[in-house]
Structure formats: C-alpha cells, structure tokens
Amino acid sequence: MSFKTLPKIELHHHLEGAAPPAFVRDMARAKGFDVSGIFDANGAYQYDDFLQFLDVYEAATKPFQTPDDYALLTAIVLGEAAEAGVVYLESFLSPDFCGGRDPGAWREYFHAMWEAALSAEELGITMRGIVTAIRHFGPEAAREVAACARETAGGFVTGFGLAGNENAGKTADFAYAFDMAREAGLRLTAHAGEWAGPTSVRDALEHLGVERIGHGVRAIEDPALVADLAARGTVLEVCPGSNVALGIYPSYADHPIARLRDAGVKVTVSTDDPPFFHTDMTREYEELARAFGWDEADFAALNRVALEAAFCDDDTRVRIAERLEAANA
C-alpha cells in the first residue's frame, strides 16, 4: 500500500527544524557562516543526544538572517511537505530566531512567512503558525515572545507554544506568557512528556492550561494520567520517528502511540523536525502501518482527530475537511 498520496494533517512541526541540510549549507556559504561542524560525512545533520540536537538546531538557524530568508525557507519547507501529501500544516515559529524577539522585527518576519504560505496554497497545502517560546531561554524571554505573538495574533498566527529543553526551569514560571497568549485569543500547546516524565504533562495542563501536548508520550508511564488525558480529550501531537531517532524508544513497534490510542487518548501524527530524523509524513505512515497494522481507515481517523484539534478558524477547517473527504471518496 502506498501512503504518499493520502492527504495528511500535521500539527507538530518546527519551521527551522525542517530546513533541508543542503539549503542550510547554501545559505551559510552565501552569508559567510561556518556550519561545517553540524553535518556528518554524508551531509546530514549530526548529533549524539538531545542536548546536542538542540545545539545543532540553533546553529542551523544562524544563516537565516532576514525576512526574505524565512520566506524562502517557508516556501521550500511547504513544498516538501506538500510532496509528502500534507494538506494542512501547523508549524512552530520562533521570534527568538526571527529578529531577536523584537516586536517590530518579528512583524516583518511574520509577514514574509505568511506571504510565502499564501503562495504555497496553490500546491494544495495550508499553513498556520504557532508562535513558540524556547523553554531553556527562560521565562522572561518567553514573555517577550508572547508579546510578539499578541501583536500578530489572528489569521496566520493562531497558536502559542513552548519548546526546547523540558527540564529547564519550572513549568509554572511560564504561566504569565501563556496567560498573555490566551488573552490574545491564541490556542495553546506545550512540549511535555518527551524527555521529562509524566509529571511534566500534568504541569503543562495545570499551570499552562494547554489544550494540546507536544509529544506527551511518556504519559504512558502513569496509567492514571493516561485515563485523565482520555477523559479530558487532550490531544497529543505525537512524533514517533523523532522519538525513535532520539532514542526515547528503540523502534516504532516499541512506541506507545498505539497503546495510548487504544486507551482512548486522542493522538495525532507529525514529523517534528523531518530532515533531522530522516523522515516525512509518508514515512511516518509507512512505519506505523508496518509496526501496528494500521491501514487507510486508521489514518483517516487520526486525521479527523487532528482536524478537530487544529488551531484554525471554522472556514479553514471546512475547507480542509473537504480535501480529506474528496480523497477518501
């Protein structure tokens, strides 16, 4: 069975983390940046563990210096996602890397990415942005990111999130930033339950008031939390290939996504940072089908969950639903 042509919804995706290595090298060469240390002999991103992955990720953002650079990045990333069958994509956007959290500079980057996303609609893919603070940059920086999000809320920017090292600082310290975003009408998500355990998921729910959890897979270690997630209807943005590549689980077959789904938890499937983990949405479908016997009906059900949880307006939701229905007719 070929999954490439199936329409797919992806909710957990980092824009810079989707930059093809060759594109980063070309941009670095053009701007005089030395990024040779972040690639292996085959030209792929190289890292030994999660903390080094974060360092390599941030180093790979250095060549992107202007709004035009981000417009080009957005166009390339959306083209690759569309090639893998993605019809709706929510991507994490970081003012930390786009103008250093300055609201005026961020607005220029924001418009550049939005225009590129609008142009990509002709490829059959719709993008929305989740402005995202980097946890290990600290709560004060997160407030500045939330201020940027507030300035551009609506239309293209529909959500606010928290990414980075889950073990940095206390979750409650970021509550103010999330309150700012909530008051601006933005939907909320946060990375938790990836490198930190089940407690981090509980903290995100309690202190940040999120409706979705990025990753969240280590909730499986706490049966009471699994039951709570199912009862709440909290949606997990699960990235199996990322979890396997980073060594959280040894294989797709060992990944808890199927157990979480069987327990009634709402799960979705995403790539996280596709070139870092040598994946795309087609490969995610193929590996999950191989590991758990999932077929087109299973993935259609996952897409329905993702569409219901998407941070988009009702008109966009109807339009994406029509694309899914047309493909499954």
Domain ranges of the chain: 8-19+64-328
Cβ–Cβ < 8 Å for 180, 153: no
Measured between alpha carbons, how far is 12 from 93 in angstroms, rounded to an integer? 11
Helix, strand and coil percent figures for the chain, each rounded to 5:
55, 15, 30
User: Check: CATH 3.30.1360.170 for 8-19+64-328?
Assistant: no
Cβ–Cβ < 8 Å for 94, 13: no
Residue 1, pLDDT score: 55
| pLDDT-flagged residues of the chain (< 70) | 1, 328-329
Query: CA nearest 129: which of 291, 261, 312?
Result: 312
Span between the terminal Cα atoms of the chain, in Å: 17
Burial class (CB in 10 A: 0-12, 13-18, 19+), 314: exposed
Per-residue pLDDT of 117-138, as tens digits, reads 999 999 999 999 999 999 999 9
Residue 325, pLDDT score: 85
Q: Is the dihedral of CA 305, 148, 107, 274 positive or negative?
A: negative
Residue 329, pLDDT score: 61
Dihedral over alpha carbons 218, 301, 292, 274 (to 10 degrees): -60
Q: Point out the residues that are catalytic.
A: 194
Cβ–Cβ < 8 Å for 261, 268: no
Residue 328, pLDDT score: 66
